[in-house]
Chains A and B, each alone.
Chain A
Amino acid sequence: MTESRWEPRIVAFFCNWCTYTAADLAGVSRLKYAPNVRVVRLMCSGRVDPQFILDALAKGADGVLIGGCHPGDCHYAEGNYKTLRRMRMLRRMLTALGIEPDRVRLEWIAASEGEKLRQVVNDMVERIRALGPLNLPARFDAWDRELEHPPAPESTSPPMEALTPTQPLEKVHA
């Protein structure tokens, strides 16, 4: 994919009860929004394992959007609070990994907020567009090549080595 044709690719994890339903409502209301977001339906935003987010980024997503019920409205009482907590930790970790934390976004969108869903998706696409491609798979490949043909042993700095994706991504937990 050439740079001029690059379009942001965003994976979304929506909870069944609020945000997925809001996306259905946006559809029924024929609201139009950017086609860059691909939705994965989960029962609750609390099911969003940070590993899903890292996996999506590692497989080529430029951004990840998580949608859950408003605080106090969770169908399962408090799953969304757990998500909020995990997101705080994940943002710190992303910064450490050299990934802009704004590529991952958590939004509360109620079942009636089809219009908010449209706005959030469009805004997210624009922000990711401004950040540019993340393209982790290509960076991983470059690192792999570097490992296979190391230029000089002393030039590889230890932190970079820690990041090489031949190691499985560690499971992060709340």
Chain B
Amino acid sequence: MNRSGAMKPNPSAEPPRIGFYVCHCGSNIASTVDCAEVARFASRLPGVVISRDYKYMCSDPGQELIQQDIRDHRLNRVVVASCSPLLHEQTFRKAVAKAGLNPFCFQMVNIREHASWVHEDPQAATAKARALARAAIERVRFHRALEPVRVPIRAEALVIGGGIAGIHAALTLAEAGKRVILVERQPSIGGHMAYLDKTFPTLDCAACILTPKMSAVRSHPNITLWTYSEVVKVEGFVGNFTVTVRRKPRYVNEELCVGCKECVDACVFKEGKFPDEFNLGLSRRKPIYLPFPQATPQVVLIDPERCLNLKTGKCKKTCVEACDRNAIAFDQKPELKVVQVGTILVATGFQLFDPSRLPQYGYGRYPNVFTTLEVERLVNSSGPTGGEIRLRDGRTPQSVGFILCVGSRDHRTNRWCSRTCCMHSMKLALLIREHTGADVTLFYMDIRAAGKGYEEFYDKCLREGIQFVRGRVAEVTDWAMTPEEEGKLVIRVEDTLAGFVRRIPLDMVVLAVGKEPQPDAQELRRLLNLSCSAEGWFLERHPKLAPVSTFTDGIFLAGCCQGPKDIPDTVAQAGAAAAEALALMDRGYIEQEPNTAYIEEADCSGCKSCLPLCPYSAIQFDEARGKAHIQAALCKGCGTCVAACPSGSIRQHLFEDEQIFAEIEGVLSHD
């Protein structure tokens, strides 16, 4: 042992024959790091047999270069300096394995994300690349041949969220013969799409395309549908998650209720009295209600905050009498269900921006300022007005204005584009014009109509006489300056195409509210061990190449919980997430990184320091022999016990002390 700590000779006796490769990544690395110089430097290091630089190491010829060298030069270690190991470590491991080398006799150096892209001075970036390369070359000498651990995967999937994303993913998985549990926290599945009247750009009716999918979910033998339920606990790892779901009481037996609504008619409240959530408060409902006509499951529920019997215990309980199936169950309690699944699909969607955060637009202050979703309910024939566009006082508007980018593309609120508000507003503008013949004006910054048939739809709006005014609206006011502004809402806006400030009187103002992450996205993130972007959307493993995978194996993303998107993109992503989950489950096992901890029994003193450190209870103590033992199948490879073992008898594959000490020495040695 020398001054540097625990350097031991490599137990595998063969002398290292290292091949070192520097990738230019086109110009991504080569424009800042002198790749030829790094290769020259590495060629002089002990053990390095061959050192090359190449345009694209990850390309087929790049990989073949390594494979040829392994054969020609009898290489037993390979180091590639290129991008992040999180991106291409698997690529290169597979490449070296094809040439007969154990894939774990490979080490990757990140000189793109950690050097060329973050440093401007070529000299400093090259020096850093040299140091990192040296560290990997020092380290790889201590690598040993390992076999990946195979863990079986359960063939059941959990889908969280019953919007169009969750519905599509659940159906895809169920059709492939997998058991699916679909958990939705609202009393019905359908999500935001269920609120919509028609969908752009084809103007097909949302209910007509969504309802069949909803009932398919309900009737599919492979799908267990738990509405009015929330995931409260997730334990375990890919292949074997143990999930606890809390089922809220509906006070109606789901198995017995057929949705005939006799109970609703019989309720002691003769008229609806309470704001109807589905119609966004534009209509009233009773304490016992069906969320909306196409609700799936077709099961009523009782609002415990409103029901006289549940609140006071004093009620004639006419609903109980009316139900000939005895489905009303006032004694229902919340229920915890525990299920075991192999994969989890997260499709929890978004919430809409609350426009009262922008008081200058008058939402909540002026009754005739609406949101796009409220108008969606107004134009819907099963909505509160039976499909007629009416102001709060019952009049039909003669002039309507849409304000775009409310809570989107705005430094004061949310900086991102919500992607659907332009098209959504244009669709509603067209519908309002069809229904009422009113003059409709859109106040926009840029019209974003990127999508199949979207630009054509924009053209159609122009042809139909929808007015477009470019400029961010300053305020909505009811302060009339001229007689024709009396009794109207006035939009004050700088028309940036005309070049002056305009006042435009209107009967109705519609705010195109943007999308935001769900208010409890952070809690779910913790539950599932996911990451979020700075904005709060769930983070995908790679923005381009792994857009539905997450950093937690076996958990996939679909729909707006990952970022704003429209229905076609959501459905496409849901299909992709289901396919990824299927690929995992159909194989039946997953190959885990063999980075598990193990104990050198001879050195174990039996002090038991390690036992309480393991979050997975993977370490057992053999009282008879006085030694600790690690169950490889339970170990997840964090290495916390390794760092804590006072005798140094716990070791970790792929992160051996020698390897890390060698890396430290490598990054610190002067050229």
Contact = CB atoms under 8 A, between A and B. Distances in A.
B3 A24 contact: no
Interface string B527-547: 001011110000100010000
Contacts of B516: none
A9 interface: yes
B496 to A, nearest CB: 31
A94 to B, nearest CB: 17
Contact of A41 (B85, B534, B543, B636): B85
A49 B656 CA distance: 11
A35 B124 contact: yes
A38 B531 contact: no
Nearest to A17: B551
Contacts of B667: 11, 38, 40
Interface in B85-125: 85-86, 110, 112-115, 117-121, 124-125
A99 to B, nearest CB: 16
Given A23-B113, A72-B526, A46 B638 contact: yes
B670 interface: yes
A88 interface: no
Given A28-B117, A76-B615, A21 B128 contact: no
A107 interface: no
B275 interface: no
Interface in B118-149: 118-121, 124-125, 127-128, 131-132, 135
Contacts of A166: 3
Interface string B583-615: 000000000000100000000000001000101
Given A11-B664, A33-B118, A40 B639 contact: no
Contacts of B386: none
Contacts of A44: 638-640
Given A49-B657, A59-B4, A111 B539 contact: yes
B145 to A, nearest CB: 20
Interface in A27-45: 27-28, 30-33, 35, 38-44
Interface string A157-172: 0000000011011010
Contact of B640 (A32, A35, A47, A115): A47
A59 B86 contact: no
B665 interface: yes
Interface in A51-74: 51-52, 55-56, 58-61, 72-73
A124 interface: no
A20 interface: yes
Contacts of B135: 38, 40
A54 B74 CA distance: 37
B668 A61 contact: yes
A112 B532 contact: yes
Contacts of B293: none
Which of B115, B117, B595, B660 has the most chain A CB within a 10 Å cutoff? Answer: B660
Contacts, number: 167
B643 A20 contact: no
Interface string B649-671: 00010010100110111011110
Contacts of B110: 24, 39
A143 to B, nearest CB: 11
Given A44-B640, A46-B639, A173-B646, A56 B664 contact: yes
Contacts of A28: 113, 117, 543
Contact of A1 (B6, B643, B670): B670
B634 to A, nearest CB: 12
A52 B118 contact: no
Contacts of A86: 643
A111 B234 CA distance: 21
A110 B525 CA distance: 12
A77 interface: yes
A128 interface: no
B84 interface: yes
A47 B3 contact: no
A113 B531 CA distance: 10
A112 B559 CA distance: 19
Contacts of A102: none
A142 to B, nearest CB: 14
A43 to B, nearest CB: 5
A9 B119 contact: no
A47 B646 contact: no
A1 B671 CA distance: 11
A42 B648 CA distance: 17
Given A23-B114, A76-B640, A112 B531 contact: yes
A174 interface: yes
A73 B551 CA distance: 13
A75 interface: yes
A135 to B, nearest CB: 12
Interface in B542-598: 543, 551-552, 595
22 contacts: A1-B670, A17-B531, A21-B551, A27-B118, A32-B119, A38-B128, A40-B135, A40-B660, A40-B663, A40-B664, A41-B85, A43-B595, A46-B643, A47-B638, A49-B660, A55-B664, A75-B529, A75-B552, A79-B638, A82-B644, A86-B643, A173-B643
Q: Across chains A and B, which 8 residue pairs bring their CB atoms closest together, nearest first? A: A27-B113, A47-B639, A46-B640, A76-B638, A38-B667, A44-B638, A77-B615, A35-B124
Given A38-B668, A47-B655, A56-B664, 17 more contacts: A17-B531, A28-B113, A35-B121, A38-B128, A39-B114, A40-B135, A40-B660, A47-B640, A49-B643, A56-B668, A58-B4, A59-B669, A61-B664, A82-B643, A118-B118, A173-B609, A173-B643
